[in-house]
Amino acid sequence: VKPYSYEFTVAFHEVDAAGIMFFAHLFGRAHDAYESFMSLIGFPLEQILREGIHLLPLARAEADYHVPVRHGERLDIWLCVSAIGRSSFTLHYRFADKKGRARADARTVHVNMVAGAAASAPLPEALRRALEPWLCPRRWTPED
């Protein structure tokens, strides 16, 4: 099992006054990888939004910054599914440079909401099945 890989170059305008990639922009890039991943597994966000039945708002986001990231660096985001719950799933994003060094790790928790309802709803079975092949490999998970 391999994580999903998404590549990007740190842009001129992603760097802050301290000369390193602004921490919040890493979440933006993680979300870009999430969008690309969801398209790959058959659930493009623009289609989900158009249908308007299910929504997957974030309940939580977190990141650990290991080594500052600089303008012009080319990074990979390794994305895998670290947990699938009854009505939510958690994604893990590892920001790795071309030497394979982890520069940052991020996680987002997505909850399934049915439009108009106040409480969360069980994950659609099709989405659950689409996520399962991407569960984080045991050895790769940074917690190990």
Q: Considering the rule CB under 8 A, would residue 53 count as an interface residue with a copy of itself?
A: no
Q: Return d(Cα 114, Cα 51) in angstroms, integer.
A: 11
Question: 57 vs 137, which CB is nearer to a copy of itself?
Answer: 57
In the stretch 31-50, what mask flags binding to a copy of itself with x, by CB under 8 A? xx--xx-------xxx--x-
Pairing of strands 74-84, 88-96: antiparallel
Give the range of 4-12, 77-85, 87-95, 125-133 binding a copy of itself by CB under 8 A: 4-12
For position 7 contacting a copy of itself by CB under 8 A, the verdict is no
Nearer to a copy of itself by Cβ, of 45 and 102: the residue is 45
Q: Is 55 in the site for a copy of itself (CB under 8 A)?
A: yes
Q: Give residues 83-142 in contact with a copy of itself (rule: CB under 8 A).
A: 108
> Among candidates 72, 88, 66, 89, which has minimal Cα distance to 135?
89
> Side chain identity at 111, as an amino acid letter?
V
Nearer to a copy of itself, 11 or 53 (CB): 11
Which of 40, 41, 59, 135 touches a copy of itself by CB under 8 A?
59
- Rounded-to-integer distance, Cα 81 and Cα 140, Å: 12
Query: Are 10 and 70 in contact, with CB atoms under 8 Å apart?
Result: yes
Who contacts 26 (Cβ-Cβ below 8 Å, separation ≥6)? 63, 65, 69, 95, 104, 106
